[in-house]
Amino acid sequence: MKKSRNIIWTYIKIVFALTILAISINMFLGPHHIAAGGVSGLGILLEFALGFNRATVILVLNVIMLILALIFLGKKPFFKVLFGSIVFPTIVEIVPEYMITSDRLLSVIFGSAIFALGVAILYKNNSSSGGTTIPPLIFKKYFNLSPSIGLLMTDAVVVSLTLFVFGFDEFLYAILSIVITSIVMNYIETGTNRQKSIMIFSENHLAEIQTRLISEIGRTLTIIEAQGGYSQLPKEILLMVVTDQEFSKVKPLIEEIDPNAFVIVNSVAEVMGRGFTYHPIE
Protein backbone atom coordinates (compact mmCIF):
# COMPACT_ATOMS: atom_id res chain seq x y z
CA MET A 1 0.00 0.00 0.00
CA LYS A 2 2.79 2.40 0.94
CA LYS A 3 4.64 1.60 -2.29
CA SER A 4 1.48 2.32 -4.32
CA ARG A 5 1.02 5.66 -2.56
CA ASN A 6 4.63 6.58 -3.30
CA ILE A 7 4.17 5.73 -6.98
CA ILE A 8 0.98 7.79 -7.17
CA TRP A 9 2.65 10.72 -5.41
CA THR A 10 5.59 10.51 -7.82
CA TYR A 11 3.30 10.72 -10.84
CA ILE A 12 1.43 13.64 -9.27
CA LYS A 13 4.73 15.50 -8.96
CA ILE A 14 5.63 14.63 -12.55
CA VAL A 15 2.28 15.96 -13.84
CA PHE A 16 2.77 19.11 -11.74
CA ALA A 17 6.24 19.59 -13.24
CA LEU A 18 4.93 19.09 -16.78
CA THR A 19 2.21 21.66 -16.06
CA ILE A 20 4.87 24.14 -14.93
CA LEU A 21 6.72 23.58 -18.20
CA ALA A 22 3.53 24.13 -20.20
CA ILE A 23 2.79 27.38 -18.33
CA SER A 24 6.32 28.58 -19.01
CA ILE A 25 5.97 27.85 -22.73
CA ASN A 26 2.39 29.03 -23.33
CA MET A 27 2.31 32.07 -21.05
CA PHE A 28 5.87 33.39 -20.97
CA LEU A 29 8.17 32.17 -23.75
CA GLY A 30 5.83 31.26 -26.59
CA PRO A 31 3.89 34.56 -26.79
CA HIS A 32 7.20 36.40 -27.25
CA HIS A 33 8.57 33.90 -29.81
CA ILE A 34 11.34 32.64 -27.52
CA ALA A 35 12.36 29.16 -28.71
CA ALA A 36 15.02 28.21 -26.19
CA GLY A 37 15.78 24.67 -27.34
CA GLY A 38 13.95 21.37 -27.00
CA VAL A 39 10.87 20.10 -28.80
CA SER A 40 8.87 22.90 -27.18
CA GLY A 41 11.15 25.38 -28.93
CA LEU A 42 10.65 23.56 -32.23
CA GLY A 43 6.91 23.66 -31.59
CA ILE A 44 7.04 27.44 -31.21
CA LEU A 45 9.13 27.78 -34.37
CA LEU A 46 6.94 25.56 -36.55
CA GLU A 47 3.76 27.13 -35.24
CA PHE A 48 4.94 30.56 -36.33
CA ALA A 49 6.62 29.49 -39.60
CA LEU A 50 4.12 26.91 -40.91
CA GLY A 51 1.01 27.36 -38.78
CA PHE A 52 1.22 23.92 -37.12
CA ASN A 53 -0.36 23.40 -33.72
CA ARG A 54 2.31 23.67 -31.02
CA ALA A 55 1.10 20.70 -28.97
CA THR A 56 0.78 18.52 -32.09
CA VAL A 57 4.37 19.29 -33.09
CA ILE A 58 5.60 18.37 -29.61
CA LEU A 59 3.60 15.11 -29.66
CA VAL A 60 4.86 14.07 -33.12
CA LEU A 61 8.49 14.87 -32.26
CA ASN A 62 8.20 13.06 -28.93
CA VAL A 63 6.83 9.97 -30.66
CA ILE A 64 9.76 10.04 -33.09
CA MET A 65 12.20 10.39 -30.18
CA LEU A 66 10.48 7.51 -28.36
CA ILE A 67 10.96 5.29 -31.41
CA LEU A 68 14.63 6.26 -31.53
CA ALA A 69 14.95 5.51 -27.81
CA LEU A 70 13.40 2.06 -28.26
CA ILE A 71 15.65 1.26 -31.25
CA PHE A 72 18.96 2.62 -30.01
CA LEU A 73 18.66 2.60 -26.21
CA GLY A 74 16.36 -0.30 -25.35
CA LYS A 75 13.20 -0.74 -23.31
CA LYS A 76 14.34 0.75 -20.00
CA PRO A 77 15.04 4.31 -21.27
CA PHE A 78 11.94 4.02 -23.47
CA PHE A 79 9.57 3.37 -20.57
CA LYS A 80 11.37 5.95 -18.45
CA VAL A 81 10.38 8.82 -20.78
CA LEU A 82 7.13 7.34 -22.16
CA PHE A 83 4.79 8.95 -19.63
CA GLY A 84 6.23 12.45 -19.90
CA SER A 85 6.46 12.27 -23.68
CA ILE A 86 2.74 11.55 -24.05
CA VAL A 87 1.35 13.64 -21.20
CA PHE A 88 3.43 16.77 -21.83
CA PRO A 89 1.92 17.71 -25.25
CA THR A 90 -1.54 17.00 -23.82
CA ILE A 91 -0.95 19.51 -21.01
CA VAL A 92 0.51 22.01 -23.50
CA GLU A 93 -2.77 21.75 -25.42
CA ILE A 94 -4.85 22.23 -22.26
CA VAL A 95 -2.93 25.20 -20.81
CA PRO A 96 -4.19 28.36 -22.57
CA GLU A 97 -1.82 30.44 -24.67
CA TYR A 98 -1.90 33.76 -22.87
CA MET A 99 0.67 36.57 -22.58
CA ILE A 100 1.16 37.23 -18.87
CA THR A 101 3.22 40.37 -19.45
CA SER A 102 4.04 42.38 -22.54
CA ASP A 103 7.57 42.99 -21.26
CA ARG A 104 9.72 40.50 -23.16
CA LEU A 105 12.67 40.61 -20.75
CA LEU A 106 10.46 39.89 -17.74
CA SER A 107 8.83 37.04 -19.63
CA VAL A 108 12.22 35.52 -20.46
CA ILE A 109 13.47 35.82 -16.88
CA PHE A 110 10.41 34.41 -15.15
CA GLY A 111 9.55 31.94 -17.90
CA SER A 112 13.06 30.48 -17.88
CA ALA A 113 13.13 30.27 -14.08
CA ILE A 114 9.76 28.48 -14.05
CA PHE A 115 10.95 26.15 -16.82
CA ALA A 116 14.08 25.30 -14.80
CA LEU A 117 11.95 24.49 -11.76
CA GLY A 118 9.80 22.11 -13.78
CA VAL A 119 12.81 20.31 -15.29
CA ALA A 120 14.47 20.04 -11.86
CA ILE A 121 11.35 18.40 -10.41
CA LEU A 122 11.30 15.93 -13.32
CA TYR A 123 14.96 15.05 -12.81
CA LYS A 124 14.47 14.53 -9.08
CA ASN A 125 11.68 12.09 -9.87
CA ASN A 126 13.73 10.27 -12.54
CA SER A 127 11.46 11.43 -15.31
CA SER A 128 11.58 13.60 -18.42
CA SER A 129 9.33 15.40 -20.85
CA GLY A 130 11.00 13.37 -23.61
CA GLY A 131 12.05 15.14 -26.80
CA THR A 132 15.61 16.34 -27.11
CA THR A 133 16.69 14.65 -23.87
CA ILE A 134 16.90 11.40 -25.88
CA PRO A 135 19.50 12.22 -28.61
CA PRO A 136 22.20 13.05 -26.00
CA LEU A 137 21.72 9.56 -24.51
CA ILE A 138 22.19 8.04 -27.97
CA PHE A 139 25.34 10.15 -28.53
CA LYS A 140 26.63 8.99 -25.15
CA LYS A 141 26.05 5.30 -25.90
CA TYR A 142 27.48 5.21 -29.43
CA PHE A 143 29.98 8.08 -29.51
CA ASN A 144 30.88 8.40 -25.80
CA LEU A 145 29.87 12.06 -25.93
CA SER A 146 28.96 13.76 -22.65
CA PRO A 147 25.13 14.09 -22.30
CA SER A 148 25.50 17.75 -21.32
CA ILE A 149 27.45 18.42 -24.54
CA GLY A 150 24.91 16.45 -26.56
CA LEU A 151 22.02 18.43 -25.07
CA LEU A 152 23.87 21.66 -25.75
CA MET A 153 24.34 20.65 -29.39
CA THR A 154 20.65 19.81 -29.90
CA ASP A 155 19.52 23.03 -28.19
CA ALA A 156 22.03 25.01 -30.24
CA VAL A 157 20.38 23.77 -33.45
CA VAL A 158 16.93 24.92 -32.24
CA VAL A 159 18.24 28.30 -31.07
CA SER A 160 20.05 28.80 -34.37
CA LEU A 161 16.78 28.29 -36.24
CA THR A 162 15.33 31.13 -34.16
CA LEU A 163 17.72 33.48 -35.94
CA PHE A 164 16.16 32.65 -39.33
CA VAL A 165 12.52 32.34 -38.27
CA PHE A 166 12.10 35.23 -35.81
CA GLY A 167 15.18 37.43 -36.01
CA PHE A 168 18.29 38.50 -34.14
CA ASP A 169 16.55 39.91 -31.04
CA GLU A 170 14.64 36.68 -30.43
CA PHE A 171 17.86 34.74 -31.03
CA LEU A 172 19.60 36.67 -28.24
CA TYR A 173 16.62 36.28 -25.92
CA ALA A 174 16.64 32.52 -26.55
CA ILE A 175 20.31 32.36 -25.52
CA LEU A 176 19.51 34.41 -22.42
CA SER A 177 16.70 31.99 -21.60
CA ILE A 178 19.06 29.00 -21.78
CA VAL A 179 21.57 30.76 -19.53
CA ILE A 180 18.92 31.62 -16.92
CA THR A 181 17.51 28.10 -17.03
CA SER A 182 20.98 26.61 -16.50
CA ILE A 183 21.76 28.92 -13.56
CA VAL A 184 18.45 28.23 -11.80
CA MET A 185 18.71 24.48 -12.37
CA ASN A 186 22.26 24.44 -11.03
CA TYR A 187 21.10 26.33 -7.94
CA ILE A 188 18.26 23.88 -7.35
CA GLU A 189 20.37 20.78 -8.00
CA THR A 190 23.20 21.86 -5.68
CA GLY A 191 20.77 22.49 -2.86
CA THR A 192 18.72 25.32 -1.49
CA ASN A 193 19.63 24.57 2.13
CA ARG A 194 22.75 26.72 1.94
CA GLN A 195 24.75 27.38 5.10
CA LYS A 196 28.21 28.59 6.14
CA SER A 197 31.09 26.36 7.19
CA ILE A 198 33.53 28.07 9.57
CA MET A 199 37.09 26.98 10.45
CA ILE A 200 38.62 28.86 13.39
CA PHE A 201 42.32 29.03 14.29
CA SER A 202 43.35 30.72 17.56
CA GLU A 203 46.68 30.45 19.34
CA ASN A 204 45.55 31.17 22.92
CA HIS A 205 41.76 31.48 23.04
CA LEU A 206 40.41 28.44 21.22
CA ALA A 207 38.87 26.85 24.33
CA GLU A 208 37.06 30.08 25.26
CA ILE A 209 35.78 30.51 21.70
CA GLN A 210 34.57 26.91 21.74
CA THR A 211 32.68 27.37 25.03
CA ARG A 212 31.06 30.66 23.96
CA LEU A 213 29.99 29.30 20.57
CA ILE A 214 28.30 26.26 22.10
CA SER A 215 26.51 28.26 24.80
CA GLU A 216 25.50 31.34 22.78
CA ILE A 217 24.96 29.97 19.27
CA GLY A 218 23.52 26.67 20.37
CA ARG A 219 25.32 24.47 17.86
CA THR A 220 27.90 21.79 18.41
CA LEU A 221 31.25 21.87 16.66
CA THR A 222 34.14 19.60 15.78
CA ILE A 223 37.75 19.85 16.93
CA ILE A 224 40.22 18.91 14.20
CA GLU A 225 43.78 17.92 15.09
CA ALA A 226 46.29 19.68 12.82
CA GLN A 227 49.98 20.56 12.59
CA GLY A 228 51.57 23.93 11.92
CA GLY A 229 53.20 24.03 8.50
CA TYR A 230 56.14 26.14 9.69
CA SER A 231 56.44 25.37 13.41
CA GLN A 232 55.49 21.67 13.01
CA LEU A 233 53.71 22.01 16.37
CA PRO A 234 50.34 20.35 17.00
CA LYS A 235 47.32 22.64 16.68
CA GLU A 236 43.58 22.44 17.00
CA ILE A 237 40.98 23.83 14.59
CA LEU A 238 37.31 24.40 15.35
CA LEU A 239 34.89 23.42 12.58
CA MET A 240 31.31 24.67 12.77
CA VAL A 241 28.36 24.91 10.38
CA VAL A 242 25.81 27.67 10.93
CA THR A 243 22.98 29.40 9.14
CA ASP A 244 23.46 32.84 7.60
CA GLN A 245 21.55 34.40 10.50
CA GLU A 246 23.73 32.62 13.07
CA PHE A 247 26.90 33.69 11.28
CA SER A 248 26.05 37.34 11.97
CA LYS A 249 26.41 36.46 15.69
CA VAL A 250 29.47 34.20 15.33
CA LYS A 251 31.70 36.78 13.67
CA PRO A 252 31.52 39.51 16.37
CA LEU A 253 31.82 36.86 19.09
CA ILE A 254 35.12 35.59 17.68
CA GLU A 255 36.42 39.14 17.19
CA GLU A 256 35.55 39.98 20.79
CA ILE A 257 37.47 37.04 22.22
CA ASP A 258 40.46 37.00 19.86
CA PRO A 259 40.78 39.76 17.24
CA ASN A 260 43.80 37.93 15.81
CA ALA A 261 41.99 34.64 15.26
CA PHE A 262 42.34 33.24 11.75
CA VAL A 263 38.89 32.36 10.39
CA ILE A 264 37.96 30.69 7.09
CA VAL A 265 34.33 30.91 5.96
CA ASN A 266 32.93 28.81 3.12
CA SER A 267 29.46 28.82 1.59
CA VAL A 268 28.04 25.29 1.74
CA ALA A 269 25.60 24.20 -0.98
CA GLU A 270 23.61 21.87 1.24
CA VAL A 271 23.67 20.56 4.79
CA MET A 272 21.89 17.42 5.96
CA GLY A 273 21.56 16.00 9.44
CA ARG A 274 20.52 16.89 12.96
CA GLY A 275 19.77 20.56 13.42
CA PHE A 276 19.41 21.23 9.69
CA THR A 277 17.22 18.61 8.00
CA TYR A 278 16.63 16.12 10.79
CA HIS A 279 14.04 17.01 13.41
CA PRO A 280 13.47 14.38 16.11
CA ILE A 281 9.95 13.75 17.44
CA GLU A 282 9.61 15.33 20.86
Q: Which of 189, 213, 243 is the last residue of a domain?
A: 189
Give residue 20's pLDDT.
Answer: 93
How many domains in the chain?
Answer: 2
237 burial level (CB within 10 Å; 0-12, 13-18, 19+): middle
Are residues 184 and 211 located together in one domain of the fold? no
Are residues 130 and 228 located together in one domain of the fold? no
Give the tens place of pLDDT for each residue, 230-241: 778 888 888 988
Whether residue 277 lies inside any domain: the answer is no
Are residues 250 and 155 located together in one domain of the fold? no
Residue 279 has pLDDT above 50, yes or no: no
Nearest Cα residue to 21 out of 113, 135, 146 = 113
Sheet with 222-227, side-by-side order of all strands: 222-227, 234-242, 195-201, 262-268
Whether residue 240 lies inside any domain: the answer is yes
Whether residue 153 lies inside any domain: the answer is yes
Whether residue 126 lies inside any domain: the answer is yes
Are residues 145 and 229 located together in one domain of the fold? no
Are residues 183 and 199 located together in one domain of the fold? no
Q: Which amino acid belongs to residue 211?
A: T
Whether residue 282 lies inside any domain: the answer is no
**Dist CA 69 CA 235 (whole Å):** 58
Give residue 271's pLDDT.
Answer: 61
More confident residue, 150 or 23: 23
**Dist CA 254 CA 210 (whole Å):** 10
Are residues 251 and 130 located together in one domain of the fold? no
Question: What is the dihedral angle through the alpha carbons of 99, 104, 107, 113, rounded to the nearest 10 degrees?
Answer: 150
Structural domain harbouring 226 = 195-268
**Dist CA 80 CA 76 (whole Å):** 6
Nearest Cα residue to 17 out of 72, 63, 84, 80 = 84
Are residues 45 and 133 located together in one domain of the fold? yes
Vertex 69, ends 66 and 74: CA angle to 5°? Answer: 125
Whether residue 94 lies inside any domain: the answer is yes
CATH code (residue 209): 3.30.70.120
More confident residue, 281 or 23: 23
Residue 112 has pLDDT above 80, yes or no: yes
Give the tens place of pLDDT for each residue, 198-209: 888 888 888 898
Q: Which of 189, 218, 234 is the last residue of a domain?
A: 189
H/E stretch holding 5 reads helix 2-24
Are residues 127 and 200 located together in one domain of the fold? no
Please state the separation of Cα 99 from the chain's center in Å: 25
**Dist CA 130 CA 111 (whole Å):** 19
Q: Which of 189, 209, 234 is the last residue of a domain?
A: 189
Whether residue 279 lies inside any domain: the answer is no
Are residues 36 and 176 located together in one domain of the fold? yes
Give the tens place of pLDDT for each residue, 43-74: 888 888 888 888 888 889 888 888 888 888 78
